[in-house]
Amino acid sequence: MGEFDTVDVIRAKRDGGELSDEQIAWMVSSYTGGRVAEEQMSALLMAIFLQGMTDREIERWTDAMIDSGERMSLAFDKPTTDKHSTGGVGDKITLPLAPLVAACGAIVPQLSGRGLGHTGGTLDKLESIPGWQASISSAAYRAQLEDVGAVICAAGDNLAPADKKLYALRDVTGTVDSIPLIASSIMSKKIAEGADALTLDVKVGSGAFMTDLPSARRLAETMVRLGSAHGVHTAALLTDMDSPLGRSAGNALEVTESVDVLAGGGPADVVELTLTLARQMLIAVGIDTDPADVLSGGKAMDTWKAMIRAQGGDPDARLPVARHTREILAPADGVLTRLDAYAVGIAAWRLGAGRARKEDPVSATAGVTWACGVGESVRAGTPLLRLHGDDETKFDRALEALEGAYEVGSAPSTRHGRSRVIDTIDAGRVA
């Protein structure tokens, strides 16, 4: 790899130029190795944010981040299939989905993350289970996949370390919301993970990072293109996140809801999206099993319990419950016509369910629950939303976030009963 002048590379992208493969590889490698200064990479990230990248540049940038660490080998007798969500409010789908797909006969290596801002993190949710550990050794990771079929855990330090360093820099330089940088960040880790197939859940709406459909579609298409170019069978679902998913946003609250789904209950939208994603993951690796039958038969619950036990958790333990609650009552008889996902997410975050910085702690008990989904009937004076938390001083600011976040009307909502899935994008549509 040749040497380049860092300022020349920054200028080239600043002026709308296309970086060469060699320039990209050198910049990412040099920054990861400490030879390019933070302020210089910050300038390049802002130039990318403003000028964008071509498909070739995005692919090479992703390659460079993968090359900064190890690419895992997942050679098993069964096919491996993974899922990634871009994040939303009440998005607990990974929890029931991973054991369900494993119970259908696939291997599910689910490397997950923590929440930041108004979207919850899968690891934060699972850590509300007594004893459960997010970090496991490579040997334990492989053994659990062999024995149980599913792992949900933190990624190791050797998986795309360039991304970890770049994401922290993007977070403090206002360059997070860039489709090339989001796509390469997600896909570098997922490709390095080594699964045969990947299904992406790209959220769109007020509670998602992509608030408009054209942007969400561009992100989905970019990631599907990246996965396919790296030999990973990749497809993406565009799913609605204008209203929060399920009936809860929080950590222990969402685990409880996920267990309800595995037990054959749970909110209809969570069940629908879980089964839709499961079918896509299974189709991608050629498994002809109906996950609905497996879910109703109880095998997915057995796999969930085995997965939690394997990581030190007690799946039968009582989950922590908030010391205090506060209710918001329905203002009138009618139909819930709107419940804003972003506002609910901010309220849960202010109660302590989320974090503003990666090093902040989160509360296992904090969060928000709601009695009904959009399109369902409500009665005046009955609880519409319930706030949960251990610190009563946080309730007022959470209530402020929910002002104007919901509407009760007399006409049925067109949202009621509609699928969360907006569209499916596979490699054939982005070729």
Q: Which residue has the tokens 């792992």?
A: 151
Give me the sheet containing 421-426, strands edge to edge. 81-85, 197-204, 233-240, 421-426
Catalytic: 170?
yes
Give CA–CA dist 158/160, Å, rounded.
6
Cα torsion through 393, 397, 398, 404, rounded to 10 = 150
Helix axes 55-67, 161-173, angle to 10 degrees: 120
Catalytic: 112?
no
Catalytic residue among 185, 206, 248, 258: 185
Catalytic: 84?
yes
Catalytic: 128?
no
Tokens of 97: 């989905």
Catalytic residue among 170, 203, 217, 420: 170
- Supply φ then ψ for residue 275, to 5 degrees: -70, -40
- Helix, strand or coil for residue 35? coil
Contact 375, 335 (CB under 8 A): yes
- Supply φ then ψ for residue 125, to 5 degrees: -65, -50
Catalytic: 30?
no
Contact 373, 336 (CB under 8 A): yes
Tokens of 343: 């506002």
Catalytic residue among 63, 163, 201, 240: 163
- Supply φ then ψ for residue 371, to 5 degrees: -80, -25
Per-residue exposure over 133-144, b if at least 16 CB sit within 10 Å of its own CB, e if not: bbebeeeebbeb
Catalytic residue among 114, 118, 142, 189: 189
Cα torsion through 391, 393, 396, 397, rounded to 10 = -80
User: Which active-site residues does the annotation give?
Assistant: 84, 163, 170, 185, 189
